[in-house]
A and B are shown apart, each in its own frame.
Chain A
């Protein structure tokens, strides 16, 4: 009845949020570990983002959208695959100590795409998240902390543990 041909809200959303669909899908794909779930999560997250777009204050649309993608992913994981969530490394249990990288390992600097993807998928969800955001999306610690809703110190220790794991996996697969 009062339909506008193109609402300014819609065009702003398409301009600010939709360019981050690749980043959103990449994060969801590594968190969910399959195409179909990743697509469902991203679509759901995009609609949610549009509904809550009025709450977006215009600071960092990528981090804002990725936080919704991340929360949607974890909600689905907790609901449908609670066993996967339990593998999560408990930061408190393992103390605040950052594990050292093994200096003696000779790691090939070139790794093919499939090997890297498979290696990341072996990590617990929180580590997959930290690694994807840091290494593949180039997010800063601050952004990762915002997206994951944890302190920067936690981001640092998750990254350190995730890298230690990956180093182990990749040097074995060689």
Chain B
């Protein structure tokens, strides 16, 4: 190595970054070269000057606490792996969508049946085809359904309560053959539609009002009921109570 090359390496030499062979070569050069020895001495003097009064800054205690707390907070948030979080999120979204879809289809299906109930009621009045079996005798009406449908509805006359049985007929609701019982309250005819609803839990009568008609629907003893009439709500509810009893 010549003088210039050596001067290039003086810092590395002073920093102890040179391998043994190069370091030894520089040592030999320093013994002969005053200029390089002076420069090397200055590097050492500067290094000593810089660190003599330990000018390093130390992290303040409040910063340490802040960082420790921040990292712990972050650790709690991140205990989920991103993939797990994504999977859970996706699953929740699917369930939510399914629930909304199920709920809306259920509601719209319910609405469609109520519309049919009204249509059936109106048709039965228009066509003067209110009943297939005109009878106020429950013991005549009930057997009439035998063999025509695959379930046996309870048929009672409530004449003593002011709701005399007029008769019965077969009708269609929600694509199924259902029992229609016809009662009368003063001049107001009441159609009661009954279909099997196996496995459904009992529910109390819920009112819908459409086109001036009141409809009560409920489930009782594995049967679904719809009572529809232009009768006022109070009297229709009285009637529903009679049926459920």
Contacts and interface: CB of A to CB of B under 8 A. Distances in A.
Do A and B share a complex?
A: yes
Contacts of B71: 10, 13-14, 18, 46-47, 50
Interface residues of B, number: 43
B66 A108 contact: no
B59 A42 contact: yes
B57 interface: yes
Interface stretch (A55-63, A74-82, A83-91, A132-140): A132-140
Contact of A113 (B41, B55, B70): B55
B42 A105 contact: yes
Interface in B22-52: 35, 38-39, 41-43, 45-52
Interface in B48-72: 48-60, 63-64, 66-68, 70-72
Given A159-B11, A160-B11, A102 B75 contact: no
A51 interface: yes
B58 A22 contact: yes
B76 interface: yes
B11 A18 contact: no
B10, B43, B75: which has the most chain A beta carbons within 10 Å?
A: B75
Given A42-B63, A47-B70, A101-B42, A3 B76 contact: yes
A38 B71 CA distance: 18
B74 interface: yes
A112 B52 CA distance: 7
Contact of B66 (A43, A51, A103, A117): A43
A21 B55 contact: no
B19 interface: no
A68 interface: no
B172 interface: no
Contact of A109 (B49, B72, B75): B49
A172 to B, nearest CB: 13
Contacts of B80: 2
Contact of B74 (A51, A109, A160): A51
A150 interface: no
Contact of A39 (B42, B51, B63): B63
Contacts of B45: 107, 109
A10 B39 contact: no
B174 interface: no
A2 B68 CA distance: 22
A136 B57 CA distance: 9
B29 to A, nearest CB: 14
B58 A134 contact: no
Given A7-B75, A25-B58, A160-B11, A108 B49 contact: yes
Contacts of A16: none
28 contacts: A2-B80, A9-B75, A18-B67, A21-B64, A25-B57, A39-B63, A39-B66, A43-B70, A46-B70, A47-B67, A47-B71, A50-B71, A51-B78, A107-B45, A107-B46, A109-B49, A111-B52, A111-B53, A112-B53, A113-B54, A113-B55, A114-B55, A116-B49, A116-B50, A135-B51, A136-B51, A141-B15, A163-B46
Interface of A: 2-4, 7, 9-10, 13-14, 18, 21-22, 24-26, 29-30, 35, 38-39, 42-43, 46-47, 50-51, 97-98, 100-105, 107-114, 116-117, 120, 131, 134-137, 140-141, 156, 159-160, 163, 166-167, 170
